[in-house]
Structure 1
Amino acid sequence: MGRTSDAKERLLEAVIELIWTGSYGSTSVDQICERAGVKKGSFYHFFESKTELAVAGIDHSWNEHRKKLDQVFSPVVPPLERIWKCFADFREEQQEIQQKHGRVLGCPIHSLGAEVSTVDERLRNKLQEILAQFIRYYESAIRDAHFQAIIEAPDAPALARILFAYGEGLLLHARIWNDLSYLDEIEAGARRILGVKSVD
């Protein structure tokens, strides 16, 4: 029972890593099985197709990441500190990835979404669902900062979308240029977007 469960989890982790370091289109079932150390028969025992595995892998990865976000965006943390910590974590994660893979990889959700959004509705819908959930973390922090009169943000959802697009854009640039310096000023830019005039 334990080995079966382990095989499924290894498949979930393998598909995300291969897509992130390469692409969805170029990743084959054979490559996924090889990376996971799982036989092809076991793959089809758990999943009907690569798409089904990718959707499950995205869910698995997001659920794990959300545990960290729940801590970072805890209501007991001052609102803007939640956002600064999230951005600092972006930088730290990308540095670890660069050391491991030799490249900055950016956001796996946006990388995959840019590739499949026009060709795979099921994957696109899953990615949109996760992105919407992510944006709500920013929204909650912005709304709390507004209510505490730290910033002026009567339309928290709109500002959250702008802030999210800004952060993800810098991650994309860091991936394209393979240059972590694009993330060095991420907090400074966010302060301008949020209208924060002084350092907390």
Structure 2
Amino acid sequence: MPTNNTKERLLETATEMVWRNSYGSVSVDEICKAADVRKGSFYHYFKSKADLALACMERECDEAIGIMDRIFSPGKHPIQRVLDLSREALIHQREVQELYGQVCGCPFMTLGSEMAGHDAEGLCAKSDEVSRMFEAYYINLVRDLGAQGYLPASIDAVSRGEETYRYVVGMIMVARVQNSLVAVERDLLHGLFRIIGLRDEDVEAFLREKTPAA
């Protein structure tokens, strides 16, 4: 009889194989073989490969929400949130690169972009749903920066937040294509400051207050 451990192995294996390669290039047979699971056990838990992929996305989303809640905690100064976002994005991509031997980018955007235009299984729609959820963190960040006087009162927080989110995702997806995190390490933080509209003097003042002279 299949066990929850079997289900977890299928989820972990499928997440790794699809993220490293692509949804279209991985078959149910290959996932079962890599997970050391019989095909009958696969269909005990999942109706299809698409059903498994959706479950993987839900699992990754739950984990990502915990990370986003920590990075974008409203208890943090909003400039600190920007600093933490840049640092955590790079750390996460490095950890995945070390684990899988390559830069893998964003799992939601990777799958969503692959399925764009022929999304019979709802995978692209799920990717878009997750993106909307994550965009809300960036929008609230911009609103908080505006409320604290770091941005003009007239700023469109929704538009600027969405633009900032897309910049981060775009940087990470280009890193996947190039299989290199050099540009992310070099440009992500200063690009965030520029796109959000933070002034250098405000960032420098915050850093001085955070680390006062001895």
TM over 0.5: yes
Number of positions where the alignment pairs a residue of Structure 1 with one of Structure 2: 199
Unaligned runs of 5+ in 1: none
Once residues 103 and 152 of structure 1 are traced to their aligned partners in structure 2, the CA distance between those partners, rounded to angstroms, is 41
Q: Provide TM-score, normalisation by structure 2.
A: 0.88
Match of 1:147 in 2: 147
Cα separation, 2, equivalents of 1:8 and 1:152:
50
C-alpha separation in 1, matches of 2:36 and 2:49: 16
Is the Cα–Cα contact under 8 Å of residues 138 and 160 in structure 1 kept in the other structure?
yes
- Asked if residue 97 in structure 1 is aligned to residue 99 in structure 2, the reply is no
User: Do residues 180 (structure 1) and 206 (structure 2) align?
Assistant: no
Report what 1:138 is aligned to: 138
Tell me the residue number matched to 2:15: 16
Distance 1:7 1:80 in 2: 43
- Residue 75 of structure 2 is matched in structure 1 by 76
Q: What is the Cα deviation at residue 162 of structure 1? A: 0.6
CA distance in 2, matches of 1:13, 1:138: 29
Secondary structure of residue in 1 paired with 2:23: coil
1:194 aligns with 2:196: yes
Q: CA deviation at 1:109?
A: 1.1
What amino acid maps onto 1:161 in structure 2?
A: E
Shift in Å, 1:165: 1.1
Are 1:157 and 2:185 matched, yes or no? no
Report if the CA contact (8 A) 2:113-2:124 is conserved: no
Task: Give the conservation status (yes or no) of the 8 Å contact 2:112–2:125.
Answer: no
Q: Which moved more, 1:175-184 or 1:45-54?
A: 175-184
Quick one: distance in 2 between partners of 1:188 and 1:4? Answer: 48
Could you tell me whether the CA contact under 8 Å between 1:12 and 1:53 is conserved in 2? yes
> Deviation of residue 17 (structure 1)?
1.0
The whole-number CA distance in structure 1 between the counterparts of 2:180 and 2:188 is 13
Q: 1:124 & 1:131 partners in 2: Cα distance? A: 11
> 1:101, CA displacement in angstroms?
2.1
User: For residues 164-195 of structure 1, what are the alpha-carbon distances to aligned partners after superposition, in whole Å with 9 as ceiling and x for unaligned?
Assistant: 11111111121111111110220101111122
| Higher gyration radius (CA) | 2
Shift of 1:35: 2.4
